[in-house]
Structure 1
Amino acid sequence: MATRRPPSRGRRPDKALTAQDILDAAIEIGDRESLEALTMRRLASELGFSTMALYRHFKNKDDILDGMADQVLGNLRLPDEIGPDPLTEARRIAEALLAMMREHPTVVRLLSTRTTTSRGSLRGAFERVLARLRQAGLPPGEAVDVYGLLMTYTLGFAAYQMPRPWGGDGEAAAELRRQRTHFYSGLPADEFPNMVELSSELTRLPTDGQFQAGLDVLLKGLAADLP
Structure 2
Amino acid sequence: MGKLTAPAIVERALRIGDTEGLDAVTIRRLATDLGVTPMALYWHFKNKEQLLIGMADHLIANFAPEPADDRPWQQRLRELVEGLVRVLRAHPCARTVLEQVDQEDVPSYLTVWNEALGLTHAAGFADEECCLISKYLLHSAISIADVPVHFRPGHTDEEIAEIVRVKRLGLESLPADAYPYLVRMAGPMVDCPPSLYDSFGVDLILSGIETLAARRS
Q: Sort the TM-score into its range (normalised by shorter chain).
A: 0.7 to 0.9
CA apart distance, 1:72: 1.8
1:195 deviates by 2.0
Q: Does 1:42 align with 2:29?
A: yes
Q: Does 1:224 align with 2:211?
A: yes
Q: Structure 1's 210 and 83: CA in aligned 2 closer, same or farther, altered over 3 A?
A: farther
Are 1:198 and 2:185 an aligned pair?
Answer: yes
In 1: Cα distance, 2:13 partner to 2:42 partner: 14
State how many pairs are aligned: 209
Partners of 1:86 and 1:138 within 8 A in 2: no
Moved more, 200-209 or 36-45: 200-209
How far 1:213 sits from its partner (Å)?
2.6
**Partner of residue 10, structure 2:** 23
| Deviation of the 1:41 alpha carbon | 0.9
- State how far apart, in whole Å, the 2-side matches of 1:216 and 1:37 are: 36
> Residue type matched to 1:216 in 2?
D
Partner residue, 1:33 = 20
Q: Which moved more, 1:66-75 or 1:115-124?
A: 115-124
Any conservation in 2 of the 1:204–1:210 contact (CA below 8 Å)? no
Q: Any stretches of 5+ residues in structure 1 without a counterpart?
A: 1-11
Corresponding residue to 1:215 among 179, 202, 206: 202
Tell me the alpha carbon deviations over residues 86-129 of structure 1, each in whole angstroms, 9 at most, x when there is no partner.
32222222211110111123321122233144352344322233
- Report deviation, 1:19: 2.3
RMSD: 3.1
**Partner in structure 1 of residue 71 of structure 2:** 84
What letter matches 2:151 in structure 1?
P
Instruction: Please list every run of 5 or more consecutive structure 2 residues that lacks an aligned counterpart in the other structure.
Output: none
Name the stretch that deviates more: 176-185 or 30-39: 176-185
Comparing 216-225 with 38-47, greater Cα deviation is found at 216-225
1:165 pairs, out of 148, 151, 163, with 151
Output one character per residue of 1:180-222: Cα deviation in whole Å (capped at 9) or x when no partner: 4344323454564432221123125573323333333333322
Q: Percent sequence identity over matched residues?
A: 28
Counterparts in 2 of 1:159 and 1:206: CA distance versus 1, 3 Å: farther
Q: Does 1:52 align with 2:39?
A: yes
Match among 132, 137, 148 for residue 150 of structure 1: 137
Q: Specify the SS of the correspondent of 1:67.
A: helix
2:22 partner SS = coil
- The one-letter amino acid of 1:111's match is L
CA distance in 2, matches of 1:96, 1:81: 15
Question: By percentage of residues, which structure has more helix?
Answer: 2
- TM-score, reference length from structure 1: 0.75
Greater RCO between the two (CA within 8 Å, min separation 6)?
2
Amino acid at match of 1:147: S
Give the whole-Å Cα distance in 1 for the aligned partners of 2:46 and 2:195: 39
- 2:112 aligned with 1:125: yes
Give the SS at the match of 1:36.
Answer: helix
More deviation, 119-128/55-64 = 119-128
